[in-house]
């Protein structure tokens, strides 16, 4: 019977190892993210300034132009024939690749028509009524030359600048008499819409039916700033806004959107999940785990604020450097988990306590790296002079902590259950997890190091 039990245990361990290899292979296939994994949100940002006044409700909207046009390009009906261009654009072949340029002649002939595409897809509901908007102004800018748009005042100024002021160096815009080759993908559009006044104190719903079928469009960062009675509330949502977001003049409701985004950010970021997983499998007790997570929290809270306010290098090399460091931090956390497990089997209690203190210090240092990753996500979404900046930062940070807590609540009880039933199986499982996390992180390290070197040499 003992021999049979050992054989059964060995079979279980063998099956576990097979499953870990399958998991590792799947993770390597699905996790080949670029070095800018934390920064994908910055590629797709939409900003809504919603101003309520006695004259009505005005929305100042900024978004990338492809959101309006990408799904309106025709299909190829014959080989070698260019598809029908989307409105306000024309197509061309560039080294055999189809590209799309802004048709400025069409735009200057009917700029409101381009704004109408956005208005027709934007749903503003008050009560049971959908409000119809009037397009009052439309502006186009090359990416990087657009005026500031972080506050209501900046949005108002952006629409008050005339052609001469724009050409005077504040931004680079396009003359009506020229027809430059401006890529649609390198263009930002600002639209001002006017609606009937929403009753004072009444909440409303905002949604968008745009679906341009763009890569990573589900990571679109939507920032809605509501201005009413001299107060500002900032709301945050990811994705296409197909599901309406409820906008009220409630501070708790506004903060809840940032808390939600913080949770989503850590749960959707595989590198964050793997790091926290390594902290879990290396902890001997729940109290030790909480000290480790606390150290991580202290570290990333410091650099989250520092990175957000621009107190870090701004060179192109810094992003892949931070991402490479985050990948290396997973390898270190996995090694630390295996090392502490061995010490628990061979060391005295005092030695373990000293080791645990150094581990907490180490996780604090690693948190500094991860905090930079969090901060860069927020930096393009929230500008330093955006309203209620500390409220939004705090809420996002709380969401990150809740995301970590959810990972712990999902994994720790399961490991504890396995440990109580068969400690050897729990040890094999944790070892397999540590090696799998290390292998994935090593793959990331090589990929991100290459991108870091490329950024340095270009």
pLDDT tens track for 168-191: 333 334 444 455 688 998 899 999
Alpha carbon 225 to chain centroid, angstroms = 18
Distance CA 187, CA 173 (A): 11
- Residue 89 has what pLDDT? 94
Spatial contact of 366 and 372, defined as CB atoms under 8 Å apart: no
What value does the mean pLDDT take over residues 382-398? 76
Structure tokens at 382: 């929230």
- Residue 346 has what pLDDT? 59
Structure tokens at 145: 């030359």
Query: pLDDT-derived band of residue 116, with 50, 70 and 90 as boundaries?
Result: very high
Structure tokens at 453: 């070197």
What value does the mean pLDDT take over residues 280-307? 83
| b/e code 204-235 from CB counts within 10 Å (16+ = b) | bebbbebebebeebeebbbbbbbbbeeebbbb
What value does the mean pLDDT take over residues 87-91? 93
What value does the mean pLDDT take over residues 258-277? 87
pLDDT at 364 over 60: yes
- Residue 336 has what pLDDT? 85
Largest interatomic CA distance in the chain:
92
pLDDT at 451 over 80: yes
- Residue 40 has what pLDDT? 32
pLDDT at 35 over 50: no
Q: Which has the closest alpha carbon to 282: 348, 350, 362?
A: 362
% of the chain with per-residue pLDDT over 70: 79
235 backbone dihedrals φ, ψ, rounded to 5°: -115, 150
Mean of pLDDT over the chain: 80
Distance CA 443, CA 321 (A): 15
pLDDT at 295 over 80: yes
Structure tokens at 216: 């990573």
- Residue 191 has what pLDDT? 97
3-state secondary structure the chain: CHHHHHHHHHHHHHHHHHHHHHHHHHHHHHCCCCCCHHHHHHHCEEEEEEEEECCEEEEEEEEECHHHHHHHCCCCCCCCCCCCCCCCEEEEEECCEEEEEECHHHHHHCHHHHHHHHHHHEEEEECCEEECCEEEEEEEEECCCCCCCCCHHHHHHHHHCCHHHHHHHHCCCCCCCCCCCCEHHHEEEEEEEEECCCCCCCCEEEEECCCCCCCCHHHCEEEEEEEECCEEEEEEEECCCCCCEEECCCHHHHHHHHHHHHHHHHHHCHHHHHHHHHHHHHCCCHHHHHHHHHHHHHHHHHHHHHHHCCCCCCCCCHHHHHHHHHHHHHHHHHHHHHHHHHHHHHCCHHHHHHHHHHHHHHHHHHHHHHHHHHHHHHHHHCCCCCCCHHHHHHHHHHHHHHHHHHHHHHHHHHHHHHHHHCHHHHHHHHHHHHHHHHHHHHHHHHHHHHHHHHHHHC
Angle, nearest 10°, between helix axes 423-457 and 389-421? 140
pLDDT at 49 over 90: yes
Query: pLDDT-derived band of residue 112, with 50, 70 and 90 as boundaries?
Result: very high
- Residue 67 has what pLDDT? 92
Spatial contact of 441 and 274, defined as CB atoms under 8 Å apart: yes
- Residue 153 has what pLDDT? 92
């Amino acid at each position: 019977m003992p021999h049979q039990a050992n054989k059964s245990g060995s079979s279980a361990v063998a099956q576990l190892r097979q499953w870990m290899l399958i998991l590792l292979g799947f993770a390597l296939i699905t996790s080949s993210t670029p070095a800018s994994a934390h920064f994908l949100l910055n590629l797709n940002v939409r900003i809504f300034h919603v101003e309520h006044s006695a004259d009505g409700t005005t929305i100042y909207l900024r978004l990338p132009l492809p959101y309006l046009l990408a799904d309106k390009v025709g299909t190829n009906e014959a080989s070698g024939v260019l598809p029908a261009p989307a409105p306000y654009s024309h197509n061309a072949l560039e080294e055999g690749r189809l590209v799309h340029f802004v048709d400025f002649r069409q735009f200057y002939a009917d700029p409101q028509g381009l704004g109408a595409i956005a208005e027709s897809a934007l749903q503003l509901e008050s009560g049971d009524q959908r409000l119809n908007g009037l397009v009052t102004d439309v502006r186009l800018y090359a990416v990087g030359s657009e005026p500031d748009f972080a506050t209501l005042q900046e949005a108002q100024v952006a629409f008050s600048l005339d052609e001469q002021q724009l050409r005077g160096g504040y931004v680079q815009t396009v003359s009506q008499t020229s027809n430059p080759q401006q890529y649609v993908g390198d263009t930002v559009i600002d639209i001002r819409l006017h609606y009937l006044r929403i009753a004072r104190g009444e909440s409303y719903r905002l949604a968008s039916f745009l679906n341009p079928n763009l890569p990573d469009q589900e990571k679109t960062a939507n920032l809605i700033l509501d201005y009413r009675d001299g107060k500002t509330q900032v709301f945050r949502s990811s994705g296409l806004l197909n599901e309406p977001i409820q906008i009220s003049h409630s501070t708790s409701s506004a903060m809840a959107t940032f808390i939600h985004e913080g949770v989503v950010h850590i749960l959707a970021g595989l590198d964050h999940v793997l790091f926290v997983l390594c902290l879990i499998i290396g902890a001997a007790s729940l109290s030790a785990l909480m000290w480790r997570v606390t150290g991580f929290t202290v570290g990333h809270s410091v650099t989250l604020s520092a990175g957000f306010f621009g107190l870090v290098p701004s060179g192109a090399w810094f992003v892949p450097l931070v991402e490479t460091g985050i990948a290396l931090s997973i390898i270190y956390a996995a090694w630390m988990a295996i090392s502490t497990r061995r010490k628990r089997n061979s060391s005295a209690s005092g030695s373990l306590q000293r080791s645990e203190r150094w581990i907490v210090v180490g996780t604090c240092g690693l948190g500094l790296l991860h905090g930079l990753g969090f901060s860069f996500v927020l930096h393009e979404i929230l500008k330093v002079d955006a309203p209620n900046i500390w409220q939004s930062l705090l809420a996002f940070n709380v969401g990150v902590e809740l995301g970590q807590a959810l990972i712990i609540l999902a994994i720790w009880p399961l490991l504890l259950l396995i440990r109580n039933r068969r400690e050897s199986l729990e040890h094999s499982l944790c070892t397999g997890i540590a090696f799998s996390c290390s292998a994935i992180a090593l793959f990331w390290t090589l990929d991100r190091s290459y991108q870091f070197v490329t950024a340095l040499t270009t």
